[in-house]
Amino acid sequence: MARIKDVDILELGEEGERSSPWSSTILVLRLVTGDGEVGYGEAPTTLMTRPVFEQMKEVSRVFKNREIGEIRKNYLEFYKHSFYLPVSVEATAALSAFEIASWDAVGKEHGAAIYDLLGGKVRDSVRAYANGWYDNCTSPQEFLAKAKEVEGKGFTAAKFDPFGPNYDAISDEGVSKARKIIETLKSRTKLDLLIECHGRFSPNSAMRVARGIEDLEPFFVEEPIHPDQFNGLKRLREVTDMRIALGERVLNKNLFLPYFTADLVDIIQPDITNVGGIIQAREAASLADSFGVEVAFHNAFGPIQTAATLHLDYNIPNFLIQESFEAFWPKWKKSLVKSGYKLENGHFILSGKPGLGIEINERILTDYKTNEMEPFNPDEPPWVVKGTFKRG
């Protein structure tokens, strides 16, 4: 195999992201080997754009001039040098981009799709759920109107956060308002409803939410408790049968183990662009499978992330459903990848071409190059969908 010769780190963005301020910028990595093969990767941002950009330079110092096909060896070499890697999202995000780009180049070198290098596919398409669709929604009627648009695009499932400005604590009135939104969508659409909590609640508040909505039988409830409240999650688990999903903030396959051994999670959501890349994400899925836990990968950033994630969706046996923001992206982000996968009638289909299988639009890499942090709004956390963190 060839050695990594050139490393290009590019930040792309555009002011005025309509729905997803946390991903108004994306970081794209381009690796070029001595044989001229090119591999692309992506790193997440989430109010960390410039720190992750700088950390990618540090990963480059380890990866450059190494054999691109020695993916695990190169990963472990950076692991050795990066003192805080297992718990530093800047480090794991930067490393993930290099790992993914390496797989892309290796797949092209062998003329094989990544999922074929991982043992082949177990499915021919991937069911998606819509996210990012409910910007500026606060009332049941506003949510319903946009949920109808989601159905019109062919989706059969949608995720949303109905909790408005409630953070840490929530009143009975807050639970009642959230319930009304969920109830309206359940009775007036055919969508499976996935409830996003964004890790915002204390254990007591999460239990109040559970008592208020569990009879509506959501498809799953995501991150109902602050991510550092492990024992609080145990308490919640004891009082509800709702399926619990989490994992976008878990940065290493081994860090999932306590959730499995304590039986605290039904669905894990590793993010392939911050857990360490394809190997770590796949091994996390394998561990989950041993405990009867399903996988719904987190996927909230850009199309390179989507393509990489779909290769694992095709490959793992315990796949459940795939997050998708694609239909609600700004035009520039939709145009970054010219081909490689399709989203039709609520399902993804990969091209099957070598590596990631994608074709990058070089014009977007030039026209949307920037060096800014994501926008900051003191009245609304960057992790919510725009215009929802207010009273309806």
Question: Is 298 an annotated catalytic residue?
Answer: yes
Q: 381 is written with which tokens? A: 């956390």
> Cα angle at 161 between 160 and 163, to 5 degrees?
150
Question: Is 347 an annotated catalytic residue?
Answer: no
Q: Exposed/middle/buried for 366, CB within 10 Å: 0-12, 13-18, 19+?
A: exposed
Query: Of 81, 226, 298, 347, which is the active-site residue?
Result: 298
By annotation, the residues acting in catalysis are: 198, 298
